[in-house]
Amino acid sequence: MKKTSTRLADGRELIYYDLRDDTVRDAVDRRPLEPTVTTSEVRRDALLGDAVAVASHRQGRTYHPPADECPLCPTQGERLTEIPDSSYDVVVFENRFPSLAGDSGRCEVVCFTSDHDASFADLTEEQARLVLDAWTDRTSELSHLSSVEQVFCFENRGEEIGVTLGHPHGQIYAYPFTTPRTALMLRSLAAHKDATGGENLFDAVLERELAGERMVLEGEHWAAFVPYAAHWPYEVHLYPKRRVPDLLALDEAARTEFPKVYLELLRRFDRIFDGQGGRTGGKEGAGEPPTPYIAAWHQAPFGALEEFDGVVREDFALHLELFTIRRTSGKLKFLAGSESGMSVFINDVPPERAAERLREVASS
């Protein structure tokens, strides 16, 4: 992997990640951009103890542009985009409309490929490995910022999720605090460790699932399963079999196997609704649109963990959570009164049946 850092016309950082070491990246951003002005601030909810990012400048962000005006495609002639070069493998840049900025953290965009009509599932294993390397590098770099306590790499796919740009891409949020969801995991981890005399809760969950009926896909170094209490109609958790706290700690064997396992998992998600008006691949085609999903990496915070008694970073287990809000063909799972009002999820698809379906759609 070759890494080349440059600056866009408004001063934001852009980084190329290339498969070839001899690739030269010297294209200049020719757009007449003014310096980016953000209004992001983080406010604490006194009753719930969580945080809300208030970012009014995001109201003006780019919204569903036509394909020939996509800002994430490479620059071509006088069609100038966020990426100054005429091609790229993987590129990361500071978001022009960040939810978090300055002392409130940082937001970055990750473009997985220059092919506007592709999806992550269409990548080769070599390309997917490059994305993994980019996620890892950004986790390392962002963890050294004084304002950052937790790094979150994720992908939103599909208009149903709220995606406003159709180009295959994800994001990285660098939070100035430990997120509420991670804090819940750490509290459960601490309580289980105390109650069992030191047993690790993540290890116990993985061991149980490896021997159970909710397994979806298993490699030598990775395991994917539908969790016992899945919140979403189709939800899969992907764990490295050797517990590590973050992407930085993955060994080479796990990194090498990851693309094959993850691409197969994404392709199965695109086949869940086959025979129900669905379609069979990542690129545009007939039938129902691609399965909308969120893919979210959970990594240990880099900040202090004193409030979680007896827990250290190494107790946390890196894992990816992949889920769709589609519950059946043409129908979405909406977060209504119980979910949005009280954070109590109601799942219409039994996790065991979801796992069975994801095994059924395995590629030949």
DSSP conformation class of 154: E
User: In this structure, are residues 20 and 2 in contact, taking their beta carbons and an 8 Å threshold?
Assistant: yes
- Going by C-alpha positions, the residue among 247, 209, 267, 4 that lies closest to residue 132 is 247
Q: Which residues contact 333 (CB under 8 A, 6 or more apart)?
A: 232, 233, 325, 326, 327, 348
Is 107 within 8 Å of 216 (Cβ atoms)? no
Q: Are 239 and 317 in contact (CB under 8 A)?
A: yes
- State how far the Cα of 203 lies from the Cα of 67, in Å rounded to an integer: 45
Q: Which of 57, 64, 169, 221 is catalytic?
A: 169
Element (H, E) at 342: helix 342-342
Q: What is the DSSP string of 156-213?
A: EESGGGT----SSEEEEEEESS--HHHHHHHHHHHHHHHHTTS--HHHHHHHHHHTST
Distances (CA, A) of 305 to 179, 182, 244, 281, 320: 12, 11, 16, 43, 21
Euclidean distance between CA atoms 238 and 322, whole angstroms: 8
Cβ–Cβ contacts within 10 Å for residue 153, how many? Answer: 26
The SS3 assignment for 355 reads helix
Say how far apart CA 135 and CA 3 lie, in whole Å: 12
- CA–CA separation, 131 and 137 (whole Å): 10
Contacts of 122 (CB under 8 A, 6+ apart): 113, 115, 168, 281, 282, 283
Secondary structure (3-state) at 141: helix
64 is annotated as an active-site residue: no
3-state DSSP call for residue 323? strand
Active-site residue numbers? 169
